[in-house]
């Protein structure tokens, strides 16, 4: 069964009598299983006159997204680094990593928070580069308990083209 015929099979009524100077509402739903641009033509025919009408329908299926461009996300970045170079708070494109550099360790998380240690944190920019609202949940791949790294806030909602 083709995609078009399954749509017709789901219609319970495909003929309407529309009294003069009145209207009948027909809802057209769009649902895509994968991203892409989709087009379909909805056709109408007046039964007695055999006059035909076309309604072009277009839809774009997208996933919400945020920018992954390091030049947008990180305030400081560089393309490469020397082998023994110590880098402080920069994203390095060749390693695809953000480098905090050497930091004091051995103190409790509460101590760091109370000291307001700016050297132990970095603000990154999250840009919603999609045309829809996004809800972003942050987590680390190998630090699910947040024992080393901490995220603040752990999530955010962004309007289209908004960055925070």
Q: Determine the Cα angle at 90 with ends 86 and 93, to 5°.
A: 100
pLDDT exceeds cutoff 60 at 87: yes
Over range 80-106, report the average pLDDT.
90
- Span of 57-61, 116-120, 151-155, 158-162 with lowest mean pLDDT: 116-120
- Rounded to 5 degrees, φ, ψ at 119 are -70, -20
C-alpha span between 78 and 92 (Å, rounded):
5
Give the start-to-end residue ranges of the domains of the chain.
70-163
With contact defined as beta carbons under 8 Å apart, do 137 and 154 qualify?
Answer: yes
- Residue 4's pLDDT is 45
pLDDT exceeds cutoff 70 at 6: no
* Higher-scoring residue by pLDDT: 8, 55: 55
- Condensed to tens digits (0 to 9), the pLDDT of residues 17-65 reads 888 899 888 888 999 999 999 999 998 888 888 889 999 999 999 999 9
C-alpha span between 153 and 141 (Å, rounded):
17
- Span of 17-21, 74-78, 108-112, 160-164 with lowest mean pLDDT: 108-112
**Average pLDDT for the chain:** 85
Confidence of residue 11 (pLDDT cuts 50, 70, 90): low
């Amino acid at each position: 069964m083709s995609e078009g015929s399954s749509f017709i099979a789901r219609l319970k009524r495909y003929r309407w009598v529309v009294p003069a100077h009145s209207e009948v509402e027909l809802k057209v739903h769009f649902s895509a299983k994968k991203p892409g641009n989709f087009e379909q033509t909805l056709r109408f025919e007046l039964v007695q006159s055999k006059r035909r009408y076309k309604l072009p329908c277009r839809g774009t299926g997208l996933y919400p997204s945020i920018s992954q461009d390091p030049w947008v996300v990180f305030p400081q970045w560089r393309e490469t680094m020397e082998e023994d170079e110590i880098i402080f708070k920069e994203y390095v494109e060749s390693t695809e990593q953000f480098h905090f550099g050497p930091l004091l360790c051995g103190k409790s998380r509460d101590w760091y928070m109370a000291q307001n240690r700016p050297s132990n944190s970095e603000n990154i920019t999250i840009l919603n580069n999609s045309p829809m609202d996004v809800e972003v949940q942050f987590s680390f791949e190998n630090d699910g308990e947040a024992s080393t790294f901490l995220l603040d806030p752990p999530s955010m909602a962004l309007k289209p083209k908004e960055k925070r």
